[in-house]
Amino acid sequence: MSGYKIKKDRRPEGTNYSDWDTLSFGETLKKFTNFFDVLVPPIVVGLYGKWGSGKTEMINALAEEIDSSQYVTHVFDAWKFRKEKNIILPLLQEIASKHKKNTQVKNAAKNIITATTLITLNQVMKNKLGINIEEVKNGLKYAEEKQRHYEDFVNKTIEMEKDFDDLIDGIVKDEKKFIIFIDNLDRCLPEHTLDLLEDIANFMHSDKCIFILSMDKDVVIQAIQEKYKNFSGKNYLEKIIQIGLNMPTPAIDDSGKSKGIYHFMKRYEKAKGYDKSSEAGDSRDRIHKQLSKTLNMLFSQGFLNNPRRIERYVNRFIVLEKMNILNIEEKPDNVAFVIMMLVFKEQFPDAYNSVVSEKDIKTLNALINFSVTTDNTPSKFKGQPQHGLRIYNELLFELYKNDHSFYAFLGLFHKVTTDNGKMSDDAKVLTQFIEARKLVSMID
């Protein structure tokens, strides 16, 4: 057990994406790479995916795989500068530093940074277009000042457009194109994210430059909606981003099983420090069979199809084992039930926290058993009695009726808590639930 390691699971330098990929995202990488050949700049592309879907690794892989004879790339992590109001400043500074021997690039970046800073610091021009009324004492001066600052803004924008063209021209020669990847844009403060999007739309366009913006699309749309109450966030984003690409979910292999299971096992073995693959009959093989047999639907239905979420579950297993709370190798049959409890706790926290008494567990078990009959869908309860169920926990019952994912989850739970599809009895579920809850209560 001394080999246990818990850390961010990053692809080591010098390792190919295909060698590190256990989710078959490599096929998507090839498609995305080919996609660049049809892009005609200036153009902005969105790479969309939820938290932990693998966007960062995909961006880094794209930057490595793209033909260097046709493209020059720069990967910028906006998260590092999330508190910076003008994210464009560190972006340009990074590019200038990378090409510090190029005087044209250095001067162009300096000009844009200076212009942007002056606009930001100018208290008279608030938000680039407003005016500070305190400094204006009469109507005539107000009109003159406002006109002057509008002119300054227009002139500065034109100058920055030219400087950005000079910057790109200094980096790429001949027919080459410059691709700027911006990662974690959605993790910055909403107003800072919108400022960068507007800067890209206003002046950061060149016939040699392509922007790839990595984000959770829904988060950014919500940020836009909060700032512009009467405007469609979706339409706003579509004005800036011409085409969007979606991150894939774990593939299904030829046998119909999610490769998320394989990914889980590879990460688990790596974290445990095993120096060989599992063999038929050993504990790891039994663990793998448990996952394959009982949890394939859990992965394929989306409860665990997020790469980062899988890493978190692997880390939880390692913690439980290291604290001598759980011994998976001695009791591999516990794997499925423990995972289900971890998913229950994380994805349905209100329901999980409401199960505190024997009656609560009986309600949960009644709903689990009820969910396995195809006729007993949540819609059956709409405006109707409880169909003979003894419901002690109304929160669980309401969630069952109104949240299809909870209903689906209980159906999967049934596979874990029963033998050969039979109805599970309260006593068995009570014992399993209490034992598993003790385990998962130790970690978050």
Query: Residue 304 CB: number of other CB atoms within 10 A?
Result: 24
Residue 113's φ and ψ, nearest 5 degrees, are -60, -45
Task: Quote the crossing angle between the two packed helices 88-98 and 139-171, to the nearest 10°.
Answer: 30
Residue with tokens 């297993």: 317
Predicted local distance difference test score (pLDDT) of residue 373: 63
The single-letter code of the amino acid at 74 is H
Over residues 82-99, the mean pLDDT reads: 86
CATH architecture of 25-246: 3-Layer(aba) Sandwich (3.40)
Predicted local distance difference test score (pLDDT) of residue 138: 47
Better-predicted residue by pLDDT, 304 or 210: 210
Query: Are β-strands 177-183 and 71-77 bridged in parallel, bridged antiparallel, or unpaired?
Result: parallel
Contacts of 14 (CB under 8 A, 6+ apart): none
Predicted local distance difference test score (pLDDT) of residue 128: 40
- How far apart CA 226 and CA 219 sit, in angstroms, is 11
- How far apart CA 197 and CA 225 sit, in angstroms, is 14
Over residues 115-126, the mean pLDDT reads: 52
pLDDT above 70: residue 295: no
- How far apart CA 293 and CA 309 sit, in angstroms, is 20
Measured between alpha carbons, how far apart are the two ends of the chain, in Å? 22
Predicted local distance difference test score (pLDDT) of residue 45: 94
Better-predicted residue by pLDDT, 33 or 367: 33
Predicted local distance difference test score (pLDDT) of residue 76: 95
- Examine residue 42 and say whether the peptide bond preceding it is cis (omega within 30 degrees of 0): yes
Q: Nearest CA to 361 among 331, 399, 392?
A: 392
DSSP 204-219: ---TTEEEEEEE-HHH
* HSE (side-chain half, CA atoms, 13 Å) at 24: 13
Q: The tokens of 138 are what? A: 């009469």
Predicted local distance difference test score (pLDDT) of residue 174: 79
Q: Nearest CA to 186 among 211, 213, 212, 204?
A: 213
Over residues 142-151, the mean pLDDT reads: 52
Predicted local distance difference test score (pLDDT) of residue 365: 79
423 DSSP assignment: P
Per residue in 414-427, pLDDT (tens digit) is 776 665 555 556 66
Residue with tokens 């029963």: 418
Predicted local distance difference test score (pLDDT) of residue 51: 82
Over residues 3-21, the mean pLDDT reads: 60
65 — pLDDT class (breaks 50, 70, 90): confident
> What are the domain boundaries of the chain?
25-246, 259-440
Contact in structure between 354 and 384 (CB atoms under 8 Å) = no
Using the CB atoms, write b or e for 346-376: b if 16+ within 10 Å: bebeebbebbeeeebbbbbbbbbbbbbeeeb
Predicted local distance difference test score (pLDDT) of residue 440: 72
pTM score, whole prediction: 0.70
Per residue in 350-386, pLDDT (tens digit) is 888 888 888 888 888 778 777 766 565 666 655 445 5
Per residue in 228-253, pLDDT (tens digit) is 888 888 998 998 999 999 998 776 77
